[in-house]
Chains A and B, each alone.
Chain A
Amino acid sequence: MSEREHILRVNATYDLAVHVGDRLRRGERLSMGSEDELLTAPVSGTVTRIDFDPASHEFTIEIATEDQ
């Protein structure tokens, strides 16, 4: 079994709907923004890291999924 790591970027204008350690299901909301391009998790997994990227003014959300 290996772990796959997905890095997602969301607009930092709005609050996040997830925290580090959260277990997400695909389709769960990531951000409170209404017009973000990416609002929901494209995969199920665990949020392992959240960073703020000032250059792009985005949060990067790292989701780890387990591949069977």
Chain B
Amino acid sequence: MTTTVRTPWMVTIGLLLALVLTHAPLAQGAAYKVPEADSADLGFYRPPITTELHPLTDADRVKNVILCIGDGMGLSQVALTSSKAVGRKGRLHMERLPISGLVRTWSANSAVTDSAAASTAMACGVKTNNGMIGMTPDGQRYHTILEAAQARGMATGLVATAAITHATPAAFASHVKSRKMEDRIAEHLIGNRVNVLFGGGRRFFLPGSDPNSGREDEIDLITAAREAGYAYVETACDLRSSGDDRILGLFQLGALTTVEPEPSLATLTEKAIETLHRVNHRPDTEGPGFFLMVEGSQIDWACHNHDTAATIRQTLLFDQAVEAAVDFALKDGHTLVIVTADHETGGLTLFDNDNGEADLVPRWSTKGHSCSPVPIWAVGPGALRFAGVQDNTDVPRKIARMLDIKPFPRLVK
């Protein structure tokens, strides 16, 4: 807790501010402002040219897996975005995936999960307490599906619009007791030699003597990454020109801004796929392939603030990344794409507009997360396994079976 003393004239302003905020509930979360651009401007979005579902494939051999996670993206967030962007008869890119189901999200210690526990479930196949990363509540570390895929020779990647050390990407390549240990998470990400790391969070890679650092020690993880064979990039231009097999892309000190000149989530996803595909490319289907996790991190943040316009914008940015993943999968023929969420945020429900207009009316019921099941879609070989209702721990277990990873879940010895 921090305490400051204010003078009486500031008290007056504070009370006036409180009065204003009481009557403007959407303005209460003023600290979060994403994006800087007009949230209502959806001109960047390229909707599907058809509403037809993508075809199911006969192929059963899964070579590559792309797991797309919309943080906080419940069914209502998708329905709201879809209604706004493509109309009631249209479909988002994610809604064109032929297999759909539901995912239960509870954590080991709560019906309402956080991203750390949910992503641990989707990465390790085990339940843990909220806040914990890559281990069970008793502190036992479990291999993640990314680590297991890497041990099988697959190239690996993590892409996020949050800091790359934030809970969701962290759970795929680190093991710490608290999601707050982002300095340690950064060390794990580099130490695990994940081929592609794209996101924000540069501050956790800078030594403590740097004024922008979020570390308390003098470890310089950017130098360490370079020495380990990574190319390091900070801009869209550098990203485009990089042809390396290992790339550390940290585009902000904290979270991404999600506006230009930063590379978009779709651009980051395309670059990650291009890199990972090149690393392990063989013309046959027997090559080791790659595992990539892509997170639309800021849907959750918009929902915590009950910011409907930002929720729609962030969901569309995520959907554009899904389009990039699906485009590759359809051309490749041996790539499984899974689209889901870690949990729902905001308790969002939708109602018809009394005026008969197209826009749905959103109602938010919580400032936190809810325990509503979240949607899952899939396309590509093995997609059928994701139909129906499943637990979040089932997601990596099914992926492991398809990649012939045994046993899974597996303790780290």
Contact = CB atoms under 8 A, between A and B. Distances in A.
B18 A21 contact: yes
Nearest to A22: B22
A21 B18 CA distance: 6
Given A8-B1, A49-B18, A34 B301 contact: no
Contact of A12 (B1, B17, B254, B304): B304
A23 B4 CA distance: 19
Interface string B175-208: 0000110000000000000000000000000000
A57 B114 contact: yes
Contacts, number: 121
Interface of A: 1-8, 11-16, 19-21, 31-35, 42, 46-57, 59-60, 64
Nearest to B163: A55
B45 interface: no
B130 A12 contact: no
B182 to A, nearest CB: 9
Nearest to B31: A51
Given A3-B8, A52-B29, A14 B369 contact: yes
Contacts of B366: 15
A60 B368 contact: no
Nearest to A38: B1
A26 B202 CA distance: 39
Contacts of A49: 17-18, 21, 28
Contact of A54 (B10, B301, B369): B301
B367 A15 contact: yes
Interface of B: 1-8, 10-11, 14-15, 17-19, 21-22, 25, 28-32, 34, 109-110, 112-115, 129-131, 162-163, 167, 179-180, 254-255, 298, 301, 304-305, 347, 366-369
B180 A56 contact: yes
A21 B2 CA distance: 20
A19 B22 CA distance: 8
Contact of A35 (B2, B21, B130, B254): B130
B305 A20 contact: no
Contact of A21 (B19, B110, B131, B254): B19
Looking at chain A's contact residues, the main secondary structure is strand
Given A14-B369, A15-B367, A4 B3 contact: yes
Given A34-B110, A49-B21, A6 B368 contact: no
Contacts of B301: 52, 54
A2 B255 contact: no
A60 B110 contact: no
B367 A16 contact: yes
Given A5-B5, A34-B109, A52-B31, 10 more contacts: A3-B5, A7-B3, A14-B368, A15-B368, A19-B22, A21-B19, A49-B17, A49-B21, A50-B28, A55-B255
A20 B298 contact: no
**Shortest beta-carbon contacts, A-B, top 6:** A51-B31, A21-B22, A15-B366, A13-B114, A54-B301, A20-B21
Contact of B11 (A35, A42, A55, A64): A64
Contacts of B29: 50-52
A33 to B, nearest CB: 8
A61 to B, nearest CB: 10
B28 A57 contact: no
Contact of B14 (A42, A57, A64): A64
B14 A3 contact: yes
A31 to B, nearest CB: 8
